[in-house]
Amino acid sequence: MRTCLILIDVQESFRQRPYFDAKDLPAYIAAQNALIDGCVARGVPIVRIFHADGPKTADNPFAMESGFVKPLAELRQFDAAATFQKARHSALVGTGLDVWLTENGVRRLIISGIRTEQCCETTTRHASDLGWEVDYCLDATLTWDMTQADGSVLTAADIKTRTATVLQDRFATICTVQQALERTSA
């Protein structure tokens, strides 16, 4: 079964947001880079997704005009099989990614990137509903603490646990980097 790594929104735009917190960044980057290296070594194509949305002005970090819609500086360089820009949470909405995957015979996706509960989870659900088998590589996703409506904080760790719980056996197989790489030869 042909597998493809989908690298979602691993871009400098997030560093410009007030909620950006670098405490989990080293572990995330280590996992993400290990996943990239493993996919490159196995000949698994890597598709890069960038989020580009909102006012087309230099002060919007998600606008191309800002100069921040580019890979995080710590991310391993690689030759992308394809690159797509999205303006919605799912990488499959209005990008042509679904067509590219179908034309290239891809049946299994490895999902990784930023944010765990937002674009990565949404793309996973969407891909599953469209018939792709999805490996959700939780340790190669990144998110940040969020404040709930009552003012209490939901930690990034709790968000990741919740995401894994709601995706497992419904929309995806939750994998570590090593498990996702092992499954590429299944």
CB 173 within 8 A of CB 134: yes
- pLDDT of 1 > 70? The answer is no
In CATH, what class is 2-183? alpha beta
**For 80-123, what is each residue's pLDDT tens digit?**
999 999 999 999 999 999 999 999 999 999 999 999 999 999 99
| DSSP-assigned letters across all residues of 20-45 | --GGGHHHHHHHHHHHHHHHHHHT--
Q: Where are the domains positioned within the chain?
A: 2-183
**For 142-160, what is each residue's pLDDT tens digit?**
999 999 999 999 999 999 9
Average confidence (pLDDT) over 156-165: 98
**For 6-22, what is each residue's pLDDT tens digit?**
999 999 999 999 999 99
Nearest to 184 by CA among 36, 23, 24, 28: 36
**For 36-65, what is each residue's pLDDT tens digit?**
999 999 999 999 999 999 999 999 999 999
Split at pLDDT 50, 70, 90, the class of 185 is confident
Whole-angstrom CA distances from 128 to 67, 81, 155 are: 33, 21, 27
Strand partners of residue 134: 109
